[in-house]
Every structure is written in C-alpha cells, then in structure tokens.
C-alpha cells in the first residue's frame, strides 16, 4: 500500500511472479482503502483459482502496544485496526509490516543482500526510511521503529547544512530533511548530497555493522552514489577498513510487494 497506489503481486511457491495489478489509493478514505485491498485480493484469487497467504507493506507501522497503525504518512490509516479489519473481510490471518522493512526483506532473501547476515535496506524517496533484516528475519523492535534512521539528526552539521531544516515530524535537522527527494530538489548539488549520505550511513555502520546497505526509492537510480559514497564514509567510521557494501536494489520497484509476500514462509 502506498500513498498514491496499491499494488498486488501473487508469487508462486518458487517466488515467481504470476499475477500483478495496481489501483489508485482512495484518498483520505480509510474504509475505501480497506475495500480496495479486499477487491484486489478477490480479483487475484478468482483469476488464479487459488487461495493465498497475504502480506502487506504499509507506509507506517503497527503499534506493538495497541496493534493500531502509527507513523503513517498516509494519515487516514493512523489509529485504525487495519490488520483486524482486513482479517475480518478476508477471513484469514494477514501479516503487515512497514514498507521499508518489506523492501529490506525482499533484497535480503534473493536480491542485493542475498546470503548476507545483516542487511540495512534504505528508502531514499518522498521520505527516508530503512529496514533491518538479520539472518533472514525482519527486526521490528519494541517500538516498531527499528531502522527509522530518517528522523535521526544529520551528524556533524557543517556551515552549508545550517540553519537546521524543519521536518514534518516536528524535529529539526532530520536526515530525511536533507536526503529525501524533495530535499534533493531544493538543493540539487550531488556532491553535497553524497557527502551528507556518507555521514548519515557512517552512523548506521558504527552501530549495526551491516554486511550490505541496499538503496531503494527514486534516488537509488543514480549510479554515481555507489562509487562515491563508500569513499566518503571512511573518515566517519570507527574501523581501519570498511567491508560493508553499498548496493543498488536487484528488484527495484517490485521489492516492496515481494517483501510483503516473504512475510510468510519461504
């Protein structure tokens, strides 16, 4: 589920895509959004004459305390029992995860992070988020915010990083406010963007020490990032050498939906 479109893919037992359909997201209408998901599933199952397990990536998270949606930039979802409502309508268990977590899972299972122990999957798009996969399992955390580095402050702000920009979350100087697509449009100097991305990812490497960092979202299509950023991050990392790889996604735009499917047994 995204803010502008809802896409469904059906995968067979070997992970091969056998059905795909995309519909616009009903705007600011929770009931219609649930209805759109239910009819997409109905379409696919009629077409394929099979019943499926269902995984869904959402631009938000389910609170570990209440089970209700939180931190969603599709704000009509916030505070709703999306999992319960979908399960009632679809008559089965539904698994839901943050969309960046689904991206990271897809790339960890059979994408750029295949075979790696720890994968940090980054979304550089309208927003900046990330997911962490350890030995094939998504790390969620007790607050359901594992990987949400986009709302950490950008480390070591320099003259050109000031004044600290406002972020929609209410804080100032968030990584997202420098590295999102809209932020890059406001300040389109790629040298500066790469240097900021290197500083921000160095902080991740010092804490998590991932084998692979996979970039996703629109900005991941810029090839020079993969050569330049790993050169720039060295001075900020507490290690004599850095074995962490920075990689483009293997599954591109499809990683979110594929990762949602992988919330079930593989």
The answer to the question of residue 9 lying near Zn ion (CB under 5 A) is no
Question: For the purposes of burial, counting CB atoms within 10 Å of the CB of 169, is it exposed (0-12), middle (13-18) or buried (19 or more)?
Answer: middle
Q: Considering Cα of 203, then 207, then 211, then 214, what sign does the dihedral take?
A: negative
The answer to the question of residue 183 lying near Zn ion (CB under 5 A) is no
Q: How far apart are CA 190 and CA 65, in angstroms?
A: 41
Residue 94 or 200: the one with the smaller Cβ distance to Zn ion is 200
How many residues of this chain bind Zn ion (CB under 5 A)? 5
Going by their DSSP bridges, the two strands 5-11 and 118-124 should be labelled as unpaired
30 C-beta neighbours (distance < 10 Å), count: 18
Find the shortest distance in angstroms from Cβ 169 to Zn ion.
3
Among 112, 132, 174, 201, binds Zn ion (CB under 5 A): 174
Find the shortest distance in angstroms from Cβ 216 to Zn ion.
19
**Quick one: tokens of 211?**
């084998």
Give the CA-trace dihedral at 223, 224, 227, 229, to 10 degrees. -110
> 211: closest CA among 106, 102, 107, 117?
117
Find the shortest distance in angstroms from Cβ 185 to Zn ion.
18
Find the shortest distance in angstroms from Cβ 144 to Zn ion.
17
Find the shortest distance in angstroms from Cβ 60 to Zn ion.
14
Q: Which stretch binds Zn ion (CB under 5 A): 23-31, 84-92, 146-154, 240-248?
A: 146-154
Find the shortest distance in angstroms from Cβ 113 to Zn ion.
26
The answer to the question of residue 148 lying near Zn ion (CB under 5 A) is no
Among 130, 154, 167, 219, binds Zn ion (CB under 5 A): 167
- Which residues does 158 contact at the CB level (< 8 Å), separation at least 6? none
Q: Which stretch binds Zn ion (CB under 5 A): 1-9, 39-47, 173-181, 249-257?
A: 173-181
Residue 13 or 170: the one with the smaller Cβ distance to Zn ion is 170
The answer to the question of residue 171 lying near Zn ion (CB under 5 A) is yes
Cα angle vertex 199, ends 198, 203, to 5°? Answer: 110
Q: How far apart are CA 86 and CA 34, in angstroms?
A: 7
The answer to the question of residue 70 lying near Zn ion (CB under 5 A) is no
The answer to the question of residue 179 lying near Zn ion (CB under 5 A) is no
Q: Which stretch binds Zn ion (CB under 5 A): 26-34, 72-80, 162-170, 187-195?
A: 162-170
- Which residues does 67 contact at the CB level (< 8 Å), separation at least 6? 81, 83, 84
Find the shortest distance in angstroms from Cβ 170 to Zn ion.
7
* Contact set with Zn ion (CB under 5 A): 151, 167, 169, 171, 174
């Amino acid at each position: 589920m995204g803010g502008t479109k809802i896409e469904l893919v059906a995968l067979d037992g070997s992970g091969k895509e056998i059905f795909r359909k995309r519909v616009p997201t009903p705007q600011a209408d929770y009931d219609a959004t649930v209805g759109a998901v239910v009819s997409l599933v109905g379409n696919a199952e009629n077409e394929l004459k099979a019943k499926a397990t269902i995984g869904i990536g959402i631009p938000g998270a389910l609170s570990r305390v209440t089970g209700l949606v939180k931190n969603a930039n599709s704000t009509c979802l916030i505070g709703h029992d999306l999992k319960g409502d979908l399960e009632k309508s679809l008559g089965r268990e539904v698994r839901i995860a943050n969309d960046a977590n689904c991206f990271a899972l897809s790339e960890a299972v059979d994408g750029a992070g295949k075979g790696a122990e720890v994968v940090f999957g980054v979304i550089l798009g309208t927003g900046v988020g990330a997911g962490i996969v350890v030995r094939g399992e998504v790390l969620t955390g007790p607050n359901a915010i594992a990987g949400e580095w986009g709302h950490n402050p950008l480390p070591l702000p320099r003259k050109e990083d000031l004044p600290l920009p406002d972020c929609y979350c209410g804080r100032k100087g968030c990584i997202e406010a420098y590295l999102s697509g809209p932020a890059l449009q406001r300040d389109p100097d790629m040298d500066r963007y790469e240097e900021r991305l290197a500083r921000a990812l160095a902080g991740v490497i010092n804490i998590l020490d991932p084998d692979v960092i996979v970039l996703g979202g629109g900005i991941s299509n810029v090839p020079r990032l993969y050569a330049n950023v790993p050169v720039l991050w060295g001075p900020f990392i507490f290690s004599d050498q850095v074995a962490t790889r920075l990689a483009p996604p293997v599954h591109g735009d499809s990683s979110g939906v594929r990762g949602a499917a992988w919330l079930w047994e593989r």
